[in-house]
């Protein structure tokens, strides 16, 4: 009995020891997992911070180079080839950027960045655009410019969006035939009044009656309104030097490759590009004859991607600058995106419900 009891006690002790080691092992594994997660979080924070400041450095360097170029040749703007002959000493030929909306690579220390400048004058003025320009743009983005074959539903949708945009930005409370004022918006599930004033940001379009996510963000190769309009273009015209491919798609109902091909022609023959663009605008609508002008870029959107060698935590900053501001501190910032918003189009495939 004594030997059997001792054997049972040894077995119980062994089981107890095994349970203790198992619990300690689980705790050790759990602690190790938490330590690994903390290490990854710290690494992500380091990479994100590095990317952010590299992007900021790339933006500041680009603005400085652009201002140096304008100081050397102030009449030329950002897009005149003569600036290459007068660029500051030590600056490479490809350092002076054009406001053409194209990404360009650069380095800061051992990190890479990408920067692009987009002229706000190359986009349609959301606050100054005529009804004819708005109607042409909305029609092409919704139905691809097929005005002749447009059904009653599509025509009513275009009328609703155009009139609602005009009602949103005017100062009265009178509803256009297909538009909307506060009476319509206050009756919605999440009520809010109509602006009855100029748009402060393109995102306000998402509050306007008839404007859907697909129309604003773009989808399936079709640009969105945010790629086409600007609240910083206060002239109501389009700068032929810097007009973008999405704007050409929206105004002329071009396919993406056709718009890019037309933009490529501008580099080789600017005068011919202007004449061709004016002719095409007149062909689609004579009211658009005086829409384009030829002038230096002054208000630009500068976007910078930081640390392109670590794309997992790539940071993006953006800002709208007035380069023509004659101030001691340099260009005036009109809008700043500390962490630039998502800039992709909606995923390819089915358009969200409510879109055309």
Residue 193 lies in a domain: yes
Residue 290 lies in a domain: no
The H or E element spanning position 42 is helix 2-72
Residue 302 located in a structural domain = no
Residues 266/260, Cβ–Cβ less than 8 Å: no
Residue 306: pLDDT above 90?
A: no
> For the whole model, what pTM was predicted?
0.75
Residue 177 placed within a domain: yes
DSSP codes, 222-286: EEPHHHHEESS--SSSEETTT--HHHHHHHH---HHHHHHHHHHHHH-HHHHHHHHHHHHHHH-G
- What is the CATH number for 160? 1.10.40.60
Q: Over the stretch 85-113, which tens digit does the pLDDT of each residue have? A: 444 333 334 434 577 778 888 888 888 88
Cα–Cα distance measured from residue 201 to residue 335, given in angstroms and rounded to the nearest whole number: 10
If pLDDT is split at 50, 70 and 90, which confidence band does 143 have?
confident
Length reported for the chain:
356
pLDDT at 10 over 60: yes
152-174 pLDDT, tens digit each = 888 899 999 999 999 999 999 99
C-alpha 353: how far from chain center: 23
Predicted pLDDT at 162? 95
Q: Compute how many other C-beta atoms are within 10 angstroms of the C-beta atom of residue 335.
A: 13
Higher-confidence residue: 293 or 169? Answer: 169
Asked if the structure places residue 135 within a domain, the reply is: yes
Rounded CA gap, 89 and 99, in Å? Answer: 22
Q: Give me the DSSP letters along 206-221.
A: GGSTT--HHHHHEETT
- Number of domains present in the structure of the chain: 1
CA dihedral 116, 122, 128, 133 (to 10 degrees): -130
**73 falls within a domain:** no
Provide the residue range defining the domain that includes 156: 129-227
Q: In the predicted model, is pLDDT for residue 215 greater than 60? A: yes
Residue 134 counted as domain residue:
yes
* Residue 51 within any structural domain of the chain: no
pLDDT reading at 149 higher than 70: no
pLDDT tens digits for 47-89? 888 888 888 998 988 888 877 766 665 554 444 444 444 443 3
């Amino acid at each position: 009995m004594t030997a059997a009891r001792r054997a049972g006690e040894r077995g119980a002790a062994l089981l107890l020891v095994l349970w203790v080691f198992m619990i300690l092992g689980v705790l050790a594994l759990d602690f190790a997992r938490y330590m690994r997660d903390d290490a990854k979080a710290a690494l992500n924070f380091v990479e994100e911070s590095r990317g952010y400041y590299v992007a900021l450095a790339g933006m500041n360097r680009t603005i400085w180079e652009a201002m140096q170029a304008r100081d050397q040749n102030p009449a030329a703007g950002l897009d005149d080839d003569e600036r290459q002959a007068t660029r500051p000493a030590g600056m490479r030929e490809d350092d002076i950027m054009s406001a053409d909306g194209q990404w360009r690579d650069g380095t800061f220390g051992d990190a890479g960045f990408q920067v692009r400048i987009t002229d706000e004058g190359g986009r349609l003025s959301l606050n100054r655009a005529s009804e004819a320009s708005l109607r042409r743009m909305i029609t092409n983005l919704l139905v691809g410019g097929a005005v002749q074959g447009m059904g009653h539903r599509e025509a009513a949708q275009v009328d609703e969006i155009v009139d609602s945009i005009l009602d949103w930005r005017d100062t009265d409370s009178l509803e256009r035939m297909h538009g909307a004022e506060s009476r319509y918006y206050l009756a919605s599930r999440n009520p809010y009044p109509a602006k009855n004033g100029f748009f402060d940001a393109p995102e306000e379009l998402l509050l306007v009656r008839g404007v859907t996510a697909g129309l604003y963000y773009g989808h399936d190769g079709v640009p969105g309104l945010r790629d086409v309009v600007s609240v910083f273009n206060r002239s109501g015209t389009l700068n032929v030097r810097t007009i973008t491919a999405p704007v050409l798609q929206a105004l002329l109902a071009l396919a993406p490759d056709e718009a890019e091909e037309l933009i490529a022609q501008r580099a080789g023959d600017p005068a011919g590009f202007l004449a061709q663009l004016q002719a095409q605008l007149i062909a689609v609508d004579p009211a658009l004859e005086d829409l384009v002008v030829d002038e230096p870029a002054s208000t630009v959107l500068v976007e910078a991607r930081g640390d392109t060698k670590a794309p997992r935590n790539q940071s993006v900053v953006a800002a709208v600058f007035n380069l023509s501001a004659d101030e001691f501190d340099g260009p005036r910032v009109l809008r700043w995106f500390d962490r630039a918003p998502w800039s992709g189009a909606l995923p390819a495939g089915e358009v969200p419900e409510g879109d055309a």
